[in-house]
Amino acid sequence: MITKTDNKKDITEILGVDGSSGHTWRWTRRRTLMVVLGVIVAVIVSRLLAGNGAPVRYKTQDAKRGSLTVVVTATGTLQPTNTVSVGSEVSGIVKTVEVTYNSRVVAGQVLARMDTTKLEAQHTQARAALESARAKVLQTEATVVETKAKLAQYQKVRELSKNKVPSQSEMSSAEASYERAKADAAAAAAAVSEAQAAVQANETDLSKSVIRSPIKGVVLTRSIEPGQTVAASFQAPTLFTLAEDLAKMDLHVNVDEADIGKVREGQNANFSVSAYPNRTFRAQITQARYGSTTTSGVVTYETVLKVDNKDLALRPGMTATADITVQEIADALLVPNAALRFTPVVQETTATSGGSLVSKLLPRPPQPKQNNKGQDQDKKQQKVWILQDGKPTAIELTTGASNGILTEVVSGNIEPGVKLLVETENQGQ
């Protein structure tokens, strides 16, 4: 028994613990945690070292020669080249309507007729007033003749009597009567002219009771029906809207202020409408207006394009999206815009190159991203990257026009077919 006890004591002294169960359990847990932590650290270090050895692969696109077309996109509506609103200057009841929607009319064609019963009565009354005024003229002319003869008789008697008879007062009265007769004759003549004007006005109203087309075109809208009353007291109401010629139309688009400097008269454009999604129509700019329109803080300028619509497929009011060709460059050296936006990733160094283990285990702050907004338009001095000896190498370029996908190279040490870096494919995978 003594021998066994001494053996246990020797084992306890070698392990450095006492014989109590509590101390033994704590020591076992501490040793297990240290082993697990060591394994984790070994795995992380091995992965970092393995990742640093993997090469970075890139996606590339070729520089090439070709034609570059720069377009400006704008939306707007189709409108007739000339629209005429036809109204009525005469009040009354609509008797008949001769045309309807989409009717083709020529200049002078009857569109509608008004009831002329009241106008005809007014015309008859005006003609009667004219006849009365003419009769009054005859009466005043007779009075002029009478007073003139009496004045002549007085003058002869006065001459024979050596100014004794008739008296001076009688002579003055005869002269005054003659002058009044002439004035009445002039007033009667003026009344005739007035009556004639009234007759002409009534005849004009009668002619305007027949509403005719002022142009050759198509009826777009019709606002009256037979039996409807038209009141034209203060302004002529619109009865019809006519389009002069739908074979020729105008496309009014709103061009953004950032693009209006590129737009010029005579430039060609292609546009499409929702009614014909698989069809493209051609147009040409006829006017780029200086007046601006501000909608929700966006400034636009109205631009008018001429459209050929011989087949009458297009209709007024259609919404169109137009691509205006503002620049065309033939045989240009082109690079993809993705290559101009690309920035290579700096490859991490290995553990043997001096990086500490702590720096590899702790996360690094994110690298700031390069802001390339507006770079294709605002910055002319740019750079692209190529692989040279397995490493990204920058090439300085002077760029020109861009269509949003490709950009023209004005100058730079680059040739067609050069593979340009556009994207990092993977790293350490």
Domain with 269 in it: what CATH number? 2.40.30.170
**Quick check: 305 and 251 in contact, CB under 8 A?**
yes
- What CA dihedral angle connects 282, 284, 287 and 288, to 10 degrees? 80
Among the listed residues 28, 34, 2, 3, the one whose alpha carbon sits nearest the alpha carbon of residue 15: 28
Return the structure tokens found at 236: 């002529």
* Helix (H/G/I), strand (E/B), else coil: 297: coil
162 and 105 within one domain: no
Q: Which pLDDT score is estimated for 23? A: 59
Average pLDDT over residues 102-113: 94
CATH code at 223?
Answer: 2.40.50.100
376 and 312 within one domain: no
| pLDDT per residue as tens digits for the range 2-34 | 444 455 455 455 445 455 555 566 767 777 888
DSSP 232-296: -SSSPPEEEEEES-TTEEEEEEEEETTTGGG--TT-EEEEEETT-TT--EEEEEEEEEEEEEEET
Residue range(s) defining the domain that contains residue 292 = 71-81+245-327
Cα radius of gyration (the chain): 51
* Helix (H/G/I), strand (E/B), else coil: 315: coil
338 and 256 within one domain: no
197 and 133 within one domain: yes
75 and 43 within one domain: no
100 and 122 within one domain: no
199 and 135 within one domain: yes
252 and 236 within one domain: no
160 and 33 within one domain: no
Q: Which pLDDT score is estimated for 350? A: 41
Among the listed residues 192, 241, 250, 195, the one whose alpha carbon sits nearest the alpha carbon of residue 220: 241
Q: Sorting pLDDT into bands at 50, 70 and 90, what band is 36?
A: confident
- Which residue, of 208, 226, 261, is where some domain finishes? 208
Lowest-pLDDT choice from 59-68, 212-221, 397-406, 420-429: 420-429
Q: Which pLDDT score is estimated for 219? A: 94
Which residues 6+ apart lie within 8 Å of 120 measured at CB?
A: 206
Task: Report CA-CA distances (Å) from 316 to 124, 125, 243, 305, 323.
Answer: 46, 47, 9, 14, 19
Residue 239: how many other CB atoms lie within 10 Å:
20
**Quick check: 262 and 401 in contact, CB under 8 A?**
no
222 and 280 within one domain: no
338 and 311 within one domain: no
Greater pLDDT, 389 or 76 = 76
223 and 181 within one domain: no
Q: Which pLDDT score is estimated for 404? A: 86
| pLDDT per residue as tens digits for the range 254-269 | 999 999 999 999 999 9
Q: Sorting pLDDT into bands at 50, 70 and 90, what band is 429?
A: very low
Which residues 6+ apart lie within 8 Å of 256 measured at CB?
A: 74, 298, 299, 300
Q: Which pLDDT score is estimated for 58? A: 86
Total domains in the fold of the chain = 5
Q: Which pLDDT score is estimated for 369? A: 44
Q: How many helices (H) and strands (E) does the chain have?
A: 7, 19
**Quick check: 247 and 113 in contact, CB under 8 A?**
no
Q: Which pLDDT score is estimated for 107? A: 93
Triad 408, 412, 413: Cα angle to 5°: 125
- Which residue, of 194, 221, 244, is where some domain finishes? 244
Upstream peptide bond of 166 is cis (omega within 30 degrees of 0)? yes
Rounded CA-CA distance 309/80 in Å is 10
CATH code at 362?
Answer: 2.40.420
* Helix (H/G/I), strand (E/B), else coil: 74: strand
